Chain A
Amino acid sequence: MEPEKQLTRREFLNYCAKLGLGILLLYPLSKLFSSGAKKDNPNISRHPAKWYKDLAG
């Protein structure tokens, strides 16, 4: 049986960079598809609502 391969520091950083890049790419895409009010959906409207207030973010 072969000994378990040890992850080098370089490989680990490489892996982290790819993961970070993936998240950076997927996040805006997920926002685009999951924000609900899809811009081209004729089934819904986007009308100003009443009765709300702004809170400091």
Chain B
Amino acid sequence: MKIVQCLLCKKECKLVNGQRGDCRVRINLNNRLTTLVYGKPCAVHVDPIEKKPMFHMLPGTTALSIATAGCNLHCKFCQNWEISQREPEDTINHDLPPAKVVQAAKNAACRSIAYTYSEPIVFYEYTLDSAKLAKAANIKNIMVTAGFINRDPLLELCKYIDGANVDLKAFTEEYYHKICGGELKPVLETIKTMHEQGVWVEITNLLAPTLNDDMSMSKQMCNWIMDNLGADVPLHFSRFWPTYKLKNLPPTSVEVITEARETALAVGLNYVYVGNVPGHEGNNTYCPKCNQIIIGRIGYMLTKYDIINGTCGKCGAKIAGIWD
């Protein structure tokens, strides 16, 4: 009996015939690695791009957002656990091959396709083929991912991905191990590789009370972003809401998330946001030079847009991002 080793993510599962990987969607079938979710999304929606969140990429536009079952991490706070922690047999799936994904995006006048909700890494082949067709049709591709992937598959994907929001869950290996079933180091490598390859990267950090809301950890993370990616990479602090296996914790307090934003700004990051707190001043984009609001937001809705040809409408400073 042959054993097949999946090399897609750092887990590198070794599978005997009939066995699935940790992600639940990649299986050794007759000694060939097979994906069970190609062209079978369980979620297909048209979302504001701000929901991903992508704040510096085509603001005010919509993204056709797709996901299949499965994930290679098992975060105890997962908001989408009903699909990410399920086998594809247990979700209601559509029949939507890559060509139809692109057609659906065109029909809905979406400027981009987002591979999101669960984990696009585990539906790699579907993401890759859809992204190739989308790029040819002048539609942008966005990955919303935890970034737990090996370097070679990532490099292949980066050729077609325009933007990514990477969920940097915390800044300790212990947190990744205990809360997510993963590792920190490969995620940091992914973020660096994407940035080097010219993918527009934004980072999300969910602050879970008592688990990763220590400001010294946040500061360490911000310093790493400054040193490795620069001040222009947007950072989104996201408010935790009790769900899945962490219903015992309270929501993140607005004070803590505000303090995290102030810490990141003090480190020198130019664009620091607060997510899941509608109306917070951290929903807006400020010009790093003149400090005026250049994109106003309430939740996912734009209330102001003052960027002209990628520059601040007030002072003319260059604003990093993909604007056209």
Mark A residues whose CB is within 8 Å of B: 31, 35-38, 41, 43-57
User: Which of B2, B35, B93 meets A43, CB within 8 Å?
Assistant: B93
User: Which of A31, A43, A54 meets B3, CB within 8 Å?
Assistant: A54
A51 to B121, CA, bound (A): 12
- Whether B8 and A51, one on each chain, are in contact in the complex, defined by CB atoms closer than 8 angstroms, is yes
Distance of A17 from chain B, by nearest CB (Å): 27
4 more A-B residue pairs beyond the given contacts A44-B89, A52-B7, A57-B1, with a C-beta to C-beta distance below 8 A: A46-B34, A50-B8, A52-B8, A53-B4
B 85-103 to A, binary, CB cutoff 8 A, 1 in contact else 0:
0011101110000000000
Instruction: Assess whether B20 is interfacial by the CB under 8 Å rule.
Output: yes
A41 to B95, CA, bound (A): 13
Q: Give the number of residues in B that approach A within 8 Å (Cβ atoms).
A: 38
Instruction: Assess whether B36 is interfacial by the CB under 8 Å rule.
Output: yes
- Whether B33 and A43, one on each chain, are in contact in the complex, defined by CB atoms closer than 8 angstroms, is no
- Whether A31 and B18, one on each chain, are in contact in the complex, defined by CB atoms closer than 8 angstroms, is yes
Shortest beta-carbon contacts, A-B, top 3: A47-B38, A52-B33, A49-B33
Mark B residues whose CB is within 8 Å of A: 1-8, 14, 16, 18, 20, 26-27, 29, 31-40, 87-89, 91-93, 124-126, 128, 150, 152-153
User: Which of A37, A38, A44, A51 meets B124, CB within 8 Å?
Assistant: A51
Chain A residues in 8 Å Cβ range of B92: 43
Which residue of B has the minimal Cβ distance to A52?
Answer: B33
User: Which of B20, B31, B35 meets A36, CB within 8 Å?
Assistant: B20
- Whether A49 and B35, one on each chain, are in contact in the complex, defined by CB atoms closer than 8 angstroms, is yes
Distance of A32 from chain B, by nearest CB (Å): 10
- Whether B40 and A51, one on each chain, are in contact in the complex, defined by CB atoms closer than 8 angstroms, is no
Chain A residues in 8 Å Cβ range of B2: 54-57
Which residue of A has the minimal Cβ distance to B7?
Answer: A51
Most chain-A Cβ atoms within 10 A of its Cβ — which of B4, B36, B125, B150?
B36
- Whether A47 and B27, one on each chain, are in contact in the complex, defined by CB atoms closer than 8 angstroms, is no
- Whether A43 and B8, one on each chain, are in contact in the complex, defined by CB atoms closer than 8 angstroms, is no
Which residue of A has the minimal Cβ distance to B20?
Answer: A36
- Whether B31 and A47, one on each chain, are in contact in the complex, defined by CB atoms closer than 8 angstroms, is no
Chain B residues in 8 Å Cβ range of A53: 4-5, 7
- Whether A37 and B34, one on each chain, are in contact in the complex, defined by CB atoms closer than 8 angstroms, is yes
User: Which of A31, A49, A54, A57 meets B26, CB within 8 Å?
Assistant: A49
User: Which of B31, B88, B153 meets A50, CB within 8 Å?
Assistant: B153
- Whether A47 and B89, one on each chain, are in contact in the complex, defined by CB atoms closer than 8 angstroms, is no
A47 to B26, CA, bound (A): 10
Which residue of B has the minimal Cβ distance to A53?
Answer: B5
Distance of B155 from chain A, by nearest CB (Å): 11
- Whether B32 and A48, one on each chain, are in contact in the complex, defined by CB atoms closer than 8 angstroms, is yes
Which residue of B has the minimal Cβ distance to A57?
Answer: B1
